[in-house]
A and B are shown apart, each in its own frame.
Chain A
Amino acid sequence: MNKKGFEFSFAWLFALFVGVAIIFLAIYAASSFLKTGSEEHTSKVAAELGVLLNPIGTNLESSKRYSLTLPEETRIFNECVEEGTFGLQRLSVSTLSGLGEAWPKPGVPASFADKYVFSSDVVQGKELELFVKPLYIPYKVGDLIILYASPLCFVAPPNWVEDEISAAGARYVNITSNYSDCPRESISVCFAGGNCNVTVIMEDDRSGRVMKRGQPLFFYDSLLYGAIVSDKKQYDCQVMRLRKRAGEIARLYLGKTELLSAQGCSSGLEIDLRNYAEHLATSTSTLSSLIYESKLLGENNEKLSCKLF
């Protein structure tokens, strides 16, 4: 009988078992570290993006334009939260990865109560364009940050839109008089009817509605640009957040007028400001009725010797 076989002793069996366990643990730890590292990196990018968005706010400027060049192909996830006193703007980031999943889960979102980013839910690119416009109803409420990666093509826009776009020097926004002149890869926006991706119907000098996938997005003034680039849910949420902030600012002006009244300069706008603040917070008030109210408030403020805003 041949007894020259390999003796598979307990020591070998034990070493094999422990070796497999250690290698498995090492692989698991390495992949976990990689995943955590990637999440940490994307969370940091999101926080830094928030820091970058601070200086782009307007002061006396009527608009601003920025180009954001990212080190790698990036997806920015734009989430708007309506709940709370001012709501929240959440931005999270995912970067193209060479290991494992091409687009890993986005990192921890950076949250801001004072920023309003209008874009589609996910913006992807290495070079992103930002166009910043303040919103006045009738006082300044905040800066609208219009974020886009795909070129836009405005077909026959009104003069004020054309002037604002050229004054800001917004990049990747073509202005043409014919739909056929729009580059193929661009998002076409028709202002005078036509077969565009987005149609703008003007109802007043500066207000109207933007039709996207059969849904109307009502706008006033610079909200037009937000309506063009955003999805309906995102747009409505940002508008509501702006209304909430406008309401809080109205209460500040109410406080200011009470302070000035005590010093001998009454504005007589207390009731108007209180009503305006209430209407802004009521979701059933339409944008057009609020704009009407804001215009009246603006006109009354102009007549004052000690103006509130």
Chain B
Amino acid sequence: MKNSLANSSRGQLKIQQMAFVLVAFMILLGLVAVFFVSIRTSTLRSDAGTIKQENAQELVRKLSGTPEFAWTGDDCASCVDFDKVMALRNRTSYQNFWGNSISLVQVKRIYPLFGNEDDECTLGNYPNCGKVTLIDRKKSYTSQDAFVALCHFEPQGAYTKCELGKIVLGVTGE
């Protein structure tokens, strides 16, 4: 009887030992999996960020040629129609047109400046103003910009006037 009880408790001890080893093994596996997944996620996030940046770089270079920005009065590859940009200012339909990762689209005048460069253009001060903000999602961003010629029709004298400006794109994400 005594012998049988000793055998049974040794058996239970073995089962307990095995259960602990198994639990430890599973915890180790879990830790390895968490480590692996976190590395994969950070790589994926950085890849996605790189693709977003590359996309913004290419987009900002080509934006002056898109129908919404391009000056079509003369053959000018990097001329932006400032009048059209002013009309684009209030179009809510364009908020997601260039993608969700674009959190800022601004057209800035570089030279000549009339007063403060941060003067937002309105119908009252146009064309003697500093910038037109088309999209601003108020998020942190990395900016990409491209220099362009800002052209508009000058009614006094009826001619086209082109000045130095730049398009600024802000990209959210790494």
Contact yes or no, A54 B55, CB < 8 A: yes
Query: B68 an interface residue at 8 Å Cβ cutoff?
Result: yes
| Other-chain contact of B72, A11, A86, A262, A309 (Cβ < 8 Å) | A309
| Other-chain contact of B54, A29, A51, A142, A309 (Cβ < 8 Å) | A51
Query: A126 an interface residue at 8 Å Cβ cutoff?
Result: no
Write out, one digit per residue, whether chain A residues 45-76 have a CB within 8 A of any chain B CB (1) or not (0).
Answer: 00110110011011110000000000000000
What B residues does A10 contact at CB under 8 A? Answer: 11, 15
Contact yes or no, B158 A14, CB < 8 A: no
Q: Given the complex of chains A and B, what is the CA–CA distance between A248 and B87 in angstroms?
A: 11
What B residues does A59 contact at CB under 8 A? Answer: 62, 64-65, 70, 77
A129-180 residues at the B interface, CB under 8 angstroms? 139-142
Q: Given the complex of chains A and B, what is the CA–CA distance between A144 and B88 in angstroms?
A: 23
Show 28 A/B contacts (Cβ-Cβ < 8 Å), sorted by A.
A11-B14, A44-B47, A47-B55, A51-B55, A54-B62, A55-B61, A59-B62, A59-B70, A86-B93, A112-B99, A114-B66, A114-B98, A139-B67, A142-B67, A248-B93, A249-B67, A252-B68, A252-B87, A253-B87, A255-B87, A256-B83, A256-B86, A259-B87, A259-B123, A260-B153, A265-B155, A305-B158, A307-B73
Contact yes or no, B72 A55, CB < 8 A: no
Query: A27 an interface residue at 8 Å Cβ cutoff?
Result: no
Knowing that A142-B67, A259-B86 touch, tell me 5 more A-B residue pairs with CB under 8 angstroms. A14-B15, A22-B25, A140-B67, A253-B87, A259-B87
Q: Whose C-beta in chain A lies nearest to the C-beta of B153? A: A306
Query: A35 an interface residue at 8 Å Cβ cutoff?
Result: no
Contact yes or no, A57 B86, CB < 8 A: no
Nearest chain A CB to B155 CB, angstrom units: 4
Q: Given the complex of chains A and B, what is the CA–CA distance between A40 and B61 in angstroms?
A: 28
Write out, one digit per residue, whether chain B residues 95-121 have a CB within 8 A of any chain A CB (1) or not (0).
Answer: 011110000000000000000000000
Q: Given the complex of chains A and B, what is the CA–CA distance between A177 and B86 in angstroms?
A: 51
Write out, one digit per residue, whether chain B residues 41-73 have a CB within 8 A of any chain A CB (1) or not (0).
Answer: 000100110010011001101101111101011
Interface centre among B48, B75, B93 (most CB of A within 10 A): B93
Q: Given the complex of chains A and B, what is the CA–CA distance between A114 and B59 in angstroms?
A: 11
What B residues does A96 contact at CB under 8 A? Answer: none
Contact yes or no, A252 B153, CB < 8 A: no
Q: Whose C-beta in chain B lies nearest to the C-beta of A254? A: B87
What A residues does B87 contact at CB under 8 A? Answer: 251-256, 258-259
With A11-B18, A114-B66, A264-B155 in contact, do A252 and B51 touch (Cβ < 8 Å)? no
Contact yes or no, A60 B93, CB < 8 A: no
Write out, one digit per residue, whether chain A residues 228-268 have a CB within 8 A of any chain B CB (1) or not (0).
Answer: 00000000000000000100110111111011101111000
Q: How large is the interface on A (under 10, 10 to 19, 20 to 34, 35 or more residues)?
A: 35 or more
Q: Given the complex of chains A and B, what is the CA–CA distance between A306 and B71 in angstroms?
A: 13
Q: How large is the interface on B (under 10, 10 to 19, 20 to 34, 35 or more residues)?
A: 35 or more
Q: Whose C-beta in chain B lies nearest to the C-beta of A25? A: B29
Interface centre among A47, A86, A142, A258 (most CB of B within 10 A): A47
Contact yes or no, A57 B55, CB < 8 A: no
Q: Whose C-beta in chain A lies nearest to the C-beta of B48? A: A47
What B residues does A140 contact at CB under 8 A? Answer: 67, 70, 72
Q: Whose C-beta in chain B lies nearest to the C-beta of A15? A: B18
What A residues does B84 contact at CB under 8 A? Answer: 252-253, 255-256
What B residues does A47 contact at CB under 8 A? Answer: 48, 51, 55
Q: Given the complex of chains A and B, what is the CA–CA distance between A114 and B102 in angstroms?
A: 14
Query: A85 an interface residue at 8 Å Cβ cutoff?
Result: yes
Query: B2 an interface residue at 8 Å Cβ cutoff?
Result: no
| Other-chain contact of B22, A18, A29, A260 (Cβ < 8 Å) | A18
Contact yes or no, A141 B77, CB < 8 A: no
Nearest chain A CB to B161 CB, angstrom units: 12
Contact yes or no, A48 B51, CB < 8 A: yes
Contact yes or no, A54 B51, CB < 8 A: no
What B residues does A18 contact at CB under 8 A? Answer: 22
Nearest chain A CB to B133 CB, angstrom units: 16
Contact yes or no, B96 A113, CB < 8 A: yes
With A14-B18, A48-B51, A112-B99 in contact, do A57 and B66 touch (Cβ < 8 Å)? yes
Q: Given the complex of chains A and B, what is the CA–CA distance between A256 and B72 in angstroms?
A: 13
Contact yes or no, A252 B66, CB < 8 A: no
Nearest chain A CB to B127 CB, angstrom units: 9
Contact yes or no, B11 A58, CB < 8 A: no
What A residues does B126 contact at CB under 8 A? Answer: 259
